[in-house]
Amino acid sequence: MLAMTALQALSAVTTVVADTADLDLVARYRAQDATTNPSLILRAARDPRFAALVQRARQQPAADVQERMDRLLVAFGVEILQRVPGRVSTEVDARLSFDTAATVQRAQRLIALYAAHGVPRQRVLIKIASTWEGIAAARQLQQEGIGCNLTLLFSFAQARACAAAQVQLISPFVGRITDWHRQHADQWDEAAMRGAADPGVRALRRIWRYYKQQGIATEIMGASFRNTEQIAALAGCDLLTIAPPLLDALAASTLPVPRQLDPAHPGAVEDTLPPQIGEAEFRAALHADRMASDKLAEGVRLFAADTDALLDLLR
């Protein structure tokens, strides 16, 4: 009998999500869900294999190039949903991350475009940056029955605000948290900072434990991984979205991946603050957390730059 791969072992305790817009790779991994972002869509749009999708988006009637981009995002999403049984995450224009009303409007348009393709809103998560304005937009969208995936999440304050807004799902960026700590450490012992000791892993585990202790229904999906040790240390998390190279590494490995997070036994109470957090407290906490404020700003800038590049491609 063939030994179980690490990917199969992980899939037994965690929902595995493919972090790619490459349609061929989505089909290969047979993941439950898939996530996209402006960078992944831009990479796929530049790939000759998917030129027909881009050409159709260029040719479809649209009020402006922003609408043409949304049509392209949805075109990739529709194709992805033919290859996964679950949901696809599609991101609102990152340049709107500090505009609640505009974020709501663009999210509603994405859902309408999916509906025009016969895709029910239950199969779509709208990705929104975890700014104060983005979380406010998600609160409104959730009340309209539109599920949201709050991305670029780096801090406990962001997680509390998302819980209070009753969003469908959050995506803590494990790898980027660790990147920041490695870059700013006076000394960094790579071996000592792996697995459960990894700063990104610790940050996600804190949020996961808080949500389970508080009975918060919001799903937690770890994202932005740098190595398989980070992934294995979070086995049992609700979902993990994993890039193709790491999916390949897990599929090629037969090392055991035991459950590390168990909802039935989340651990001792660590945080007793209520989820409710006001704007002033949120902004003060984010400002005080240099890592979170740095990485949130950087993430919005990078996604906005790739959005601009995607718009140039569609022009």
Say if 228 falls within a structural domain. Answer: yes
The residue ranges of the chain whose pLDDT is under 50 are none
- H or E stretch covering 151: strand 148-153
Q: Which residues contact 66 (CB under 8 A, 6 or more apart)?
A: 93, 311
Among 147, 196, 154, CA closest to 171: 154
Average pLDDT of the chain is 96
Active-site pick, 87, 106, 127, 139: 127
Helix (H), strand (E) counts: the chain: 14, 8
pLDDT for position 268 = 82
pLDDT for position 105 = 98
Total of domains in the chain: 1
Is residue 203 left, alpha or beta, with left meaning phi > 0 and alpha meaning psi from -120 to 50? alpha
Among 133, 169, 149, 174, CA closest to 291: 174
- H or E stretch covering 129: strand 124-129
How far is it, in rounded angstroms, from Cα 308 to Cα 92? 13
Using an 8 Å Cβ cutoff, are 244 and 18 in contact?
yes
How far is it, in rounded angstroms, from Cα 182 to Cα 187? 8
Say if 109 falls within a structural domain. Answer: yes
CATH number at residue 190: 3.20.20.70
pLDDT for position 262 = 96
Say if 250 falls within a structural domain. Answer: yes
Say if 105 falls within a structural domain. Answer: yes
212 included as an active-site residue: no
How far is it, in rounded angstroms, from Cα 187 to Cα 196? 19
Say if 1 falls within a structural domain. Answer: no
User: Which pLDDT tens digit goes with each residue over 217-258?
Assistant: 999 999 999 999 999 999 999 999 999 999 999 999 999 999
Say if 163 falls within a structural domain. Answer: yes
Range of the domain at 108: 6-314
